[in-house]
Structure 1
Amino acid sequence: MTLLDQRIQFEEKKKIYDSSILTFNEVEGFDVYNISIPFERSGKRYLFGRVERREEWARSWVRLFEETGHDEWTLVPGSMIYTLEDPYISLIGNEIVMGGTHVQYEAGRVKTYFGYFHRGTEFLNLYYFTTGPNKMKDIRLVELSDGKIGVFSRPRGAETRGEYGSESMIGFTIIDCLDQLTAEVIENAPYIDGIFGEGEWGGVNQAYLLDSGKIGIIGHNCYRDRDAEGGEVKVYLNMAFVFDPVTREATDLHVIGSRTCYPAGPSKTRHLVDCAFTAGIVTRPDGKADLYSGIGDCQAGRITIDYPFEGHGQLV
């Protein structure tokens, strides 16, 4: 079944219990999108967000925001400014790891990009500690039950397309500690089969250890489509699957959200009108989950959905 077919099935049966556009304060003149998942520290909730002007591209900063109301977030005064795109976090031991994409320019044009990683016990002052492989986004970490760290990679390009048919793959490997996280280790992570179809791409956005020992994945899955005028549209969908780190089997891959699930709004460009770039989920007391996502590359949204890993275990 193609991803388009999966999307059609999802749209026919989807259950969205609540939806909202997030509001960001103290960043007038800038959009905030492609956020991290919210996290708690000292009884307060925070998230990192990509901050960028609507008319600019690949000129982003990552800033820290504190929750100050329902779906309302306010810039934390004096917090660090990171020259990154699309932040994400992992909780490893007593440390927060924040990663994002650093874009490098040459002669006024994008030359390449890398994943940069920062760590620390004090989330207001994280320190850079390693860089991922050249031109690789969507590298994600998860702490396993034995204290080791699962690492998900996301190679993408012509070589991947030529060998596998899909534009990207997802790899997985295990390291003993953060000091072992290097570009070489990430690059050599063995691939997981059966996730993307021909011409599709995507990756892991947030990984969660389940009490079954498996890993719950919240990610994005993408394909190209055409709008009514024949222009190309890049479709980004929120998706989930379950990964067994022992058997290396991926199961229960399914769409959990699309741009139509969130309130209507603008997009940065015409070809991103159908873009929902996943952040991750936060479980709720009622058993459901709040799914956070960037939308249209200029806003961030939240929808409430059924718990996506039902039957596979609960988040640890």
Structure 2
Amino acid sequence: MDIREMRERFEQQGLIYERNLLTFAGVEGYDVYNTSVPFAYEGKSYLFGRVERREEWANSTVRLFSKKAEDIWEIVPESFVYQLEDPFVAKVQNEFVLGGTRVDYSRGKLAGFCGVFYKGKDPFHLRYYTTGPKNMKDIRMVELKDGRLGVFSRPRGEHVRQAYGSESVIGFTVIKDISELDDKVVEQARIVDGFFGKDEWGGCNQCFLLEDGSVGVIGHRCYLEEQNGISQQVYLNIAFVFNPDTYLVSDAKIIGTRRSYPDWPAKKPNLADCAFSSGIRLREDGRADLYSGIGDTAEGRIVIEDPFGGKYH
């Protein structure tokens, strides 16, 4: 089914049980968006958020926030300031991993970007660990059933379009442990062909090991669409299941769109239809909180059905 038809059907169903915007204290004059999913440490809830002024672009930092109340977060003032964008967190092989995108400049001009990883035993004591390939975002990892580490890549660019028809693709590879992770490993990941349509792009944001050994992925899927004379970058929240043995994708579906979240101004007119997935947190009622950046200015939370039906390892 065409992605636009999938979106129309999803929005007609209206299966959103709650919708809110997150509030961030201690960063007045700045937007916080494209956060990590919340995580627990020593009885408290935290998340990392991208902090940036509304009028600026590619000039953000990542800061740690602690939960003050439902959907209200405050900055942890003593925490480290990371020169990154779009943070994510993962717990793999007894290591806490923080990743994000580093934007590189040369003589004041944009020179590219790359994924950067920090790791440690807790979110307060992280050390720079390794860097992904140049001009690649959205590298994610998951601990597999046999203890090895699965790594998702996301090549993007004209060379990808020429080879596959889509603007980006997803790749996957397996390494023995996190000590083997580097740019070469990620670059050599085998491509998962046929997931994105013509000129679409997207990637993985959060990964779960499921009970049958497959991987549940929360991601984003994107395309350009003319809306009211503006070429909109449409970003959708998606979920799918990936089989690491067969490299096949199943149960791909939309789980959120920009219209799923409360109204809020976008950073630029062409980002008004943008919902960039952070990930899900499971709820006691069996549903899931889906967190997502919206319009590159805010972070939203909606309550949805658990996209993987509780079948976690």
State the secondary structure of the residue aligned to 1:132. strand
1:315 is aligned to 312
TM-score, normalised by the number of residues in structure 1: 0.97
Deviation at 1:197, TM superposition (A): 0.3
Query: In the alignment, what sits opposite 1:177?
Result: 177
Instruction: State whether structure 2 residue 127 is matched by structure 1 residue 127.
Output: yes
Contact 1:195/1:253, CA 8 A, preserved across alignment: no
Distance 1:295 1:128 in 2: 28
Question: Within 2, Cα distance between the matches of 1:174 and 1:90?
Answer: 16
> 1:79·1:125 contact (CA, 8 Å) conserved in 2?
no
Q: Secondary structure at the match of 1:266?
A: coil
**Aligned residues: percent identity?**
52
> Match of 2:225, SS?
strand
1:221 aligns with 221
Pair 114,239 (structure 1): closer, same or farther in 2 beyond 3 Å:
same
Looking at structure 2, the residues matched to 256 and 282 of structure 1 have their Cα atoms a distance apart, in angstroms, of 14
Partner residue of 2:233? 234
Q: What amino acid is aligned across from residue 270 of structure 2 in structure 1?
A: H
Aligned to 1:273: 272
Per-residue CA shift, 1:119-147, capped at 9, x if unaligned? 00021121001000010000001111221
Q: Which is worse superposed, 191-200 or 216-225?
A: 191-200
Secondary structure of the structure 2 residue equivalent to 1:133: strand
Question: What root-mean-square deviation, in Å, do the aligned CA atoms of Structure 1 and Structure 2 show?
Answer: 0.9
Counterparts of 1:308 and 1:122 in 2: how far apart (Å)? 28
Q: 2:287, 2:303 within 8 Å by CA — same for their partners in 1?
A: yes
Corresponding residue for 2:246?
Answer: 247
In structure 2, distance between residues paired with 1:175 and 1:263: 41
Deviations 1:265-292 (A, max 9, x none): 0100000000000000001111110000
Q: Tell me the distance in 2 between the aligned counterparts of 1:83 and 1:29.
A: 18
Secondary structure of 2:196 counterpart: coil
Q: Name the aligned partner's letter for residue 244 of structure 2.
A: P
**SS of 1:254 mapped into structure 2:** strand
CA contact 2:93–2:177 (8 Å) conserved in 1: no
8 Å Cα contact 1:194-1:250 kept in structure 2: no
Stretches of structure 2 lacking an aligned partner (at least 5 in a row): none
Q: Distance in 2 between matches of 1:209 and 1:298?
A: 31
Q: Distance in 1 between matches of 2:77 and 2:112?
A: 31
C-alpha distance in 1, partners of 2:287/2:18?
Answer: 11
Whether the aligned pair in 2 keeps the contact of 1:133 and 1:184 (CA below 8 Å) is: yes
Shift of 1:194: 2.4
Note the residue ranges of structure 1 that are not aligned, 5 or more in a row.
Answer: none
2:182 partner letter: T
Secondary structure of 1:274's counterpart equals: coil
Query: How many Å apart are 1:249 and its aligned residue?
Result: 1.0
Structure 1 segments of 4+ aligned residues over 6 angstroms from their partners: none
| Aligned twin of 1:211 | 211
Instruction: Write out per-residue CA displacement over residues 209-267 of structure 1, whole angstroms, 9 at most, x where no aligned residue.
Output: 11221110000000001121x12110000000001111211001111000000000010
Aligned to 1:84: 84
Letter in 2 for 1:134: K
Whether contact under 8 Å (1:166, 1:196) holds in the other structure is yes
Cα distance in 1, alignment partners of residues 98 and 36 from structure 2: 9
Counterpart amino acid of residue 296 in structure 1 = G
